[in-house]
Chain A
Amino acid sequence: MTNKDFAAWIIRVVCGVKLLPVEALPSTPAIYFANHSSHLDFTTIWAALPQKIRTRVRPVAGRDYWEKTPRRLRIAKDFFNAVLIERKRVTVATNPLEPMLAALDAGDSLIVFPEGTRSPDGSVHDFKSGLYHLAKARPAVVLVPIYLQDLNRILPKGDFLPVPLLGSLSLGAPLQLKSDETKSAFLERARGAVVKLSH
C-alpha cells in the first residue's frame, strides 16, 4: 500500500464513501464531471476510484486558488497531479483547454467541475462551456456524470473544521456529445444527468 492508497482509504473513511468497482467504470480515458460544493469533492472522487484508474486520473482545478500558497501548490501538483487551469484572465496564451486536452491525449482521465466554482448552498448551478469544448475537441472520450451528496455538510465552503457525516457518490451512465447537438442543449443534458442522480 502506497502513501496515496493510504490517503485514499482515509478520505473514504472520513467521507463515508465506498470504493467504486472497476467494472462500473470505462476502461479508456474518461472525463468524470460532478457537482461542486466542497473542497472534498475532487479528493472524494479521486479516493473512490479504484487504484488502477486513480493513478491515471487528474483533477482539474483553478490556478488562481491553488497557486496562492506553496502548500496548496504542493498538494495540487505533487500529490493529486492536478491540471491547473486559468479561470480569471483567459487569453489565447492561457487557453484552459490546452492542458486538459494534453492530459487526455497522454492517456489520462480528468475530474472536472463544470459549474466552475463551489456552490454555496449545495444546489447544482448552470454548467460553464468548458465541458462542451472538451467533448467537441475529443468526441471519442466518454463523459461520466457523478453526483456528490452531503460533502458540503462535511466541509462547507469557507470553513476549515470538518463534521464527519456520511457522504455519498452516485455514478451515472456515460454520455457523449451528439453530432448535431448545440452547446446549450448539451450542457443542459449533462447537467440533467448529474441532477438526476440526486433523487
Chain B
Amino acid sequence: MKIDPQLIWLAGGVVGLLALSSIITFVLKMRAGGKPNAVVANLDARVKAWWVMVAVFGVALATGLIGAVILFGLLSFFALREFITLTPTRAGDHRTLFWAFFIVTPLQYYLVGMEWYGLFSILIPVYTFILVPTRSALAGDSEHFLERTAKIQWALMVCVYCVSHVPALLTLHIAGYEGQNAKLVLFFVLVVQISDVLQYVWGKLLGKHKIAPLISPSKTVEGFLGGVLSATAIGTALWRVTPFNWWQAGLFSFLITLMGFFGGLVMSAIKRDRGVKDYGTLIEGHGGVMDRIDSLCFAAPVFFHLVRYFYT
C-alpha cells in the first residue's frame, strides 16, 4: 500500500506542533521553578491530553470510514451523555432518552457508514423530530412538555447530527480527489482546533475587550481576531492538501473558524444557563468531550454542505 506523502507531511506537522507545545510547557514549568502555577499546570494537562486525542484520531482516520464512524459515534454518545445530564428531563422522558442513546445515535452513524446521504441528513431533523415528542407524550406527562422535547431534540442535533458530519466528509466523491478525503477531514479538524487554541493564546497574550462577558469570560475581541486570522492563514497555507485552490481554502478556513467560534459561544451560553463551568471531566485539562468538540458542532455541517454543493 502506498501512503499519500501529503498525509505524512500533515501528520508530521501535527506531531511537530505538539512536540513544540510540550517543549514550551516544559520551559514554562522550569521557569516557574517548582512553584505551583495554575495556568502552567492546566497547559501541561491540556498538551498531554492533546497527545492522546491526536493518537486516537490518527488511528481512527488510518482505519478509514469505519474507524472514523466509530470514533465520532463514541464522541457523540459521550457528548450526548454530558448534555442530557445537564438538561432537566423528567421520568416521562426516560424511554425517549433510551431511544436517543441506543437507537438514534447508532443508527445515524450506521447511515453515515453506509454512505446513505438521503437518510442520514434527515434522520434527526425529520424522523427523530417526530419520534421524541411522540414517545414522551405516550408516557403521559405534560409538565414542561414543549421545553423537555425541545431540549432533547436540541441535544441530538448538536451532539449527534452535527458531529456526524465530520466522518461524513469521507463519503463525499470529489472529482480528482478520490481516495484522499482523509486529508479533507484532517484539514477541517486541524483548522477548527487550531483556531480554538490560537484564540486562547491570543486572548491570553493581548485579550482586553470581552465579547460577551456574561457568557464566556475568556472570549475577547483580540483573541477572536488574532485566532481567526492566524488560523485562516494556516488553513490557506494548507491549500495543497485540499481539493481547493489557495483562495478557496482561505475562504473555507475563514468560514470554519467563524462557525467554530459561534459553536463555542453557544455551548458556553448553555453551560452558563445551567450554572456549570465544564460539561464533564473526561479529558484532563479540557473538561468534558463537549468542551472539546463544541467548536466542531456548527462548523461540520456547514463545511460538509458547502463542499458537497460546490465540489461534487
Q: Taking beta carbons and an 8 Å cutoff, which residues of A are in contact with B?
A: 16, 120-121, 150, 152-153, 156, 159, 161, 163-166
Contacts and interface: CB of A to CB of B under 8 A. Distances in A.
Interface string B62-94: 000000000000000100011011000101001
A153 B94 CA distance: 7
Given A150-B85, A153-B89, A156-B91, A166 B97 contact: no
A165 B81 contact: yes
Tell me which of A153, A163, A166 has the highest count of chain B C-beta atoms within 10 A of its own C-beta. Answer: A163
A22 B94 CA distance: 35
B97 A163 contact: yes
Contacts of A121: 91
B101 interface: yes
B91 A165 contact: no
B91 A16 contact: no
Decide if the interface of chain A is mainly helix, strand, loop or mixed: loop
Contact of A163 (B82, B94, B280): B94
Given A153-B89, A156-B91, A166-B280, A16 B98 contact: no
Given A16-B81, A150-B85, A163 B98 contact: yes
A156 B81 contact: no
B82 A161 contact: no
B95 A161 contact: yes
Question: Size range of the interface on B?
Answer: 10 to 19
A159 B81 contact: no
A164 B82 contact: no
Nearest to B95: A161
B89 A166 contact: no
A164 B76 CA distance: 13
B82 A166 contact: yes
Given A153-B89, A156-B91, A166-B280, A161 B98 contact: yes
Contacts of B91: 120-121, 152, 156
Given A150-B85, A153-B89, A164 B94 contact: no
A160 to B, nearest CB: 10
28 contacts: A16-B81, A16-B85, A120-B91, A121-B91, A150-B85, A153-B89, A153-B94, A156-B91, A156-B94, A159-B94, A159-B95, A161-B94, A161-B95, A163-B84, A163-B94, A163-B97, A163-B98, A163-B101, A164-B77, A164-B81, A164-B101, A165-B81, A165-B84, A165-B85, A166-B81, A166-B82, A166-B85, A166-B280
Contacts of A161: 94-95, 98
A66 to B, nearest CB: 24
Given A153-B89, A153-B94, A156-B94, 17 more contacts: A16-B85, A120-B91, A121-B91, A156-B91, A159-B95, A161-B94, A161-B95, A161-B98, A163-B84, A163-B94, A163-B97, A163-B98, A163-B101, A164-B77, A164-B81, A165-B84, A166-B280
Nearest to A152: B91
Contacts of A16: 81, 85
Contacts of B84: 163, 165
A84 to B, nearest CB: 28
